[in-house]
Amino acid sequence: MLNKLKGTAVGELFRDACKLGEENLKLQKDIVVGWSRLWPGLSGRVQTTSTPFAEVRGVWSETVQNLAHKQRELVNKQFEFARKTLDLAFGVAGNELTPPVKAELPATPEAAEKSPPVSEPAIEPQVRGASPVESGRPYISGTQNIVNKIAVVTGAASGIGEAVSRELAHRGAKAVMLVDRSDQVVALANAINEEEGRTVAIGQVGDTTDAAFRKRVFNEAVERYGIVSICVPAAGITRDALSVRIDKETGKADLYPVETFRQVTEVNLIAPIYWAIEMIARIAEDRRERGLKRWEPEEKIQGAIVFLGSVSSQGNKGQISYAVAKAGLEGAAATLMKEAIFHGVRCGVIHPGFTDTPMAKALGSDFLEKYVLPYTQLRRLIRPEEIADAICFMISNSAVSGELWADAGWHPPA
Ligand SMILES: NC(=O)c1ccc[n+]([C@@H]2O[C@H](COP(=O)([O-])OP(=O)(O)OC[C@H]3O[C@@H](n4cnc5c(N)ncnc54)[C@H](O)[C@@H]3O)[C@@H](O)[C@H]2O)c1
């Protein structure tokens, strides 16, 4: 195996690591030899020293500090090695790893006694696929702000909502509330729990436009698991028709029905906003109860919301209500990003292109092949898992705000 790695970048890193290991061993030997010289009892060898005790303490303090500093350098180098190896092997974003040795060493043994023990760096167990055990392992890209968190996903019985729910569970969320008006969501929750080997998914059947249902879901999440800090309100519907259509028989114009317009905006715009602000409200109350005011970065991110926009937010023939709702989410996210960061909550919008779900498939294969696929760069539908991955990226990476276009390079025909 090692022969195979010879001459490769990973092989080089292994060679360096071995060297570091040897150096560390030698250093530890030096420490023991050094100590046994100053404190004969350590090695069991009888030695005599005429140095006064106070002087020995001074030399001891200096020697130990020097050695400890050297050892810290070596540990940091070993950490660097591990980071680079992970980078190469798994494409991990190395800069998300926290160096293990941070604290300044105390100047004297007396100071060492007074100062608190060197604390572990603020890292959480963040390993994709692993159950959220306290492993103490550093961040692995794509799971920050997800491991051990409690999430609510609406529209979870199908398509993108289903894929996001699976992905959040898989990336170590403590609990994911799967919300949908279809009772399929309960079977899906059971399937996810079986796959993950733990109870992480909880099916919740109801209508997202029902405020009492929304509050029940959040109450149950809090009672069973704790404060919800991830919200992906993905439930959505389409009711497509031209805004004005001439009746061929009568020659009269039909207007897009206002009741349908209200229904689409109720489900696709108002409900997602209220699911999001329900979460913000709970986080705000909880922080208030704990005596916290304006969020400070040391608290780490308290919550993340990702709305499901659409390429149609830019306008799409036959989608007046849908396009309006999706464009409205852009305004909502931009406003919430500004307001909710007071409580440490981030907010963004993802704009998926045509994704392989029942919603897109309802357009019919003829339509998709004629009007959609030729106008995408990928010339295929996007997989729901690809959108789920992009959503998890938006949740994980705290530097990301605003909007992400995951549209497979789609540009509508003129
Ligand atoms: N599929 C695409 O091409 C595409 C593209 C851009 C954006 N989107 C958006 O992504 C989101 C998910 O879409 P999808 O393609 O997975 O759709 P989908 O039809 O596969 O799933 C939508 C789910 O939402 C649920 N739902 C609808 N109204 C509800 C309500 N009032 N209460 C509770 N549940 C409700 C449905 O039961 C369904 O399970 C939607 O907001 C959609 O607008 C989809």
pTM of the model: 0.72
Across 121-126, average pLDDT = 35
Across 379-402, average pLDDT = 95
Given a contact cutoff of 8 angstroms between Cβ atoms, the answer to whether 304 and 362 are in contact is: no
Best mutation site among 162, 177, 180 for ligand 1, i.e. most ligand atoms within 8 A of its Cβ? 180
Output the pLDDT for position 64.
Answer: 56
Q: Convert 181-214 to b/e letters by CB count within 10 Å (16 or more is b).
A: beebbbebbeebbeebeeebbbbbebebeeeeeb
Nearest atom in ligand 1 to the alpha carbon of residue 355 is 3
Among protein residues, the one with the nearest Cα to ligand 1's atom 40 is 236
- Ligand 1 centre to CA of 240 (Å) is 14
- Ligand 1 centre to CA of 306 (Å) is 14
- Pocket lined around ligand 1, Cβ cut-off 6 Å: 154-155, 157-161, 180-182, 207-209, 234-237, 267, 308, 310, 352, 354-355, 357-360
Flag whether pLDDT at 232 surpasses 50.
yes
Give the CA distances from residue 30 to residues 26, 68, 74, 358, in Å, rounded to whole numbers and listed in that order.
Answer: 6, 11, 14, 68
pLDDT tens readout for residues 269-302: 999 999 999 999 999 999 999 999 999 999 999 9
DSSP one-letter code for 6: T
Output the pLDDT for position 94.
Answer: 36
Q: Which residue, among 380, 399, 385, has the nearest Cα to 341 in the 3D structure?
A: 399
Alpha helices, H only, 236-303: 258-265, 271-289
Please work out, in degrees rounded to the nearest 5, the angle formed at the alpha carbon of residue 194 by the alpha carbons of 190 and 197.
130
Output the pLDDT for position 259.
Answer: 98
pLDDT tens readout for residues 176-205: 999 999 999 999 999 999 999 999 999 999
Given a contact cutoff of 8 angstroms between Cβ atoms, the answer to whether 278 and 218 are in contact is: yes
Identify the band that residue 215 occupies on the pLDDT scale cut at 50, 70 and 90.
very high
Flag whether pLDDT at 71 surpasses 70.
no
**Collapsing DSSP states into helix, strand and coil, what is residue 237?**
coil
Residue whose tokens read 């023991």: 32
Residues β-bridged to residue 180 = 205
pLDDT tens readout for residues 3-38: 555 666 656 665 666 576 677 667 666 655 555 555
Q: In CATH, what class is 150-406?
A: alpha beta
Flag whether pLDDT at 383 surpasses 50.
yes
- CA–CA separation, 39 and 30 (whole Å): 14
Flag whether pLDDT at 352 surpasses 70.
yes
Best mutation site among 359, 376, 381, 405 for ligand 1, i.e. most ligand atoms within 8 A of its Cβ? 359
- What residue spans in the chain does CATH classification 3.40.50.720 cover? 150-406
Tokens of 110: 């007396």
Average pLDDT, the chain: 81
Find all residues with CB under 8 Å of 18, minimum gap 6, and list them.
none
Q: Which residue, among 132, 154, 316, 323, has the nearest Cα to 235 in the 3D structure?
A: 154
Across 257-280, average pLDDT = 98
Give percent of the chain above pLDDT 70.
66
Among protein residues, the one with the nearest Cα to ligand 1's atom 43 is 236
- CA–CA separation, 276 and 44 (whole Å): 67
Please work out, in degrees rounded to the nearest 5, the angle formed at the alpha carbon of residue 270 by the alpha carbons of 216 and 275.
30
